[in-house]
Structure 1
């Protein structure tokens, strides 16, 4: 593979990352009153005084501050997918999900929510891209893997969300199901890695934040970024 594709893809990722914080402000609202007291102050996505249901109508200062960081993250994420084994003709589907994932991560970090419109858009992008890739390859049977991956991811996370005392929200369940589509395309080993790895990443993040006294034991933390990061790493491992 020439270096041109990864570099071009990374540049596209930088552009997607730059735009992500501004798009996120359209979906950023204050955390629900029931969770606001224990929500982690990891990001200031909502202006002071904004209440539940308040949607910003212009880019927030925090979006400008986050744009450079998100651009770097986008370049790394897209560049990694550009060289990930097994992606092949499905690369546009993976990149579309990654672009929407950047926005979802910013929103989840800021307000502990994964908006259905963004998750639904990621699902449509994944399905359309994978169907196109299977058609180009003349392998419609390859769609069985993504469908099975989505079903398994949804079932597993739904059961976890229903456990007594679970802090897993159904936004996380729906996002996991969407991410099961590209993971299933890459095969069962990658799918299983992508199901387990987010919990390991989330656990490490919680331990680090507790050690740094950034959060308390009862602080609610977003799982969406860990789901997205775990899926990305699983794709890289192939």
Structure 2
């Protein structure tokens, strides 16, 4: 991909990042004051978009993953603000992923990749259902549903991406929790959002595999 194309992708990501905070505020309950590091959203969205564009290049699923990333950024902001992953947003991400990947598979003539995506969604969802049912588990079913949705693009990218994405999400979350505990920013019983880690793990898996 040319430098000009990457610049265009970065600008697109930055523009998307500008609308993420106002969209997220519609789903935050109870309402919170405007503020916080919302200025991070445009550069973060630009980095996410460029990373996917560089790695996926001519993959027919690139537009699909970019669309899912947009909803994912909104979900991350909401989860960080109020520990919620609203069903309408998760459903929107799932619809974009399933519908978009189906179209990409049909256009590219690669039905096997669609099967891989569906298997990835089922496996990711099932694994997180089991985690949620463990004694003293703090995994919410919003996290389970988001994991199933993210399993679709991970499954599209292949078995290694699926395994890497699922493992990285919990590794990132675990490291964050340990760091916050060590610095006494949280207590052992403090609830922390998992959604951003699931999304970050998916993005990193796409880059690394």
Same fold (TM over 0.5): yes
- 1:85, CA displacement in angstroms? 4.1
Q: Which structure 2 residue ranges, 5 or more long, are not aligned? A: none
Please state if 1:79 is matched with 2:50.
yes
Choose between structure 1 and 2 for higher RCO, CA contacts under 8 A separated by at least 6 residues: 1
| Deviation of 1:140 (Å) | 2.2
Structure ID, larger Rg: 1
Q: CA RMSD in A?
A: 1.4
Q: Evaluate the alpha carbon distance shift between residue 196 and residue 87 of structure 1 in structure 2; reply closer, same or farther with a 3 A threshold.
A: farther
The alignment's TM-score, normalised by the length of structure 2, stands at 0.96
> How far is 1:87 from its partner?
6.8
Counterpart for residue 145 of structure 1 = 116
Aligned equivalent of 2:201? 230
More helix by share: 2
Aligned to 1:213: 184
Quick one: distance in 2 between partners of 1:113 and 1:216? 20
Unaligned runs of 5+ in 1: 31-45, 48-59
Match of 2:34 in 1: 61
1:81–1:87 Cα contact (<8 Å) kept: no
Q: Does 1:25 align with 2:32?
A: no
Aligned-pair distance for 1:129? Answer: 1.5
Q: In the comparison of the two structures, how many residue pairs are matched?
A: 209
Paired with 1:78 and 1:91, the residues of 2 have a C-alpha distance of: 10
The Cα offsets for residues 66-111 of structure 1, whole Å up to 9 and x where unpaired, read as 3321111101111100111477110111001100000000000000
CA distance in 2 between counterparts of 1:196 and 1:154 reads 14
Residue of structure 2 equivalent to 1:193: 164
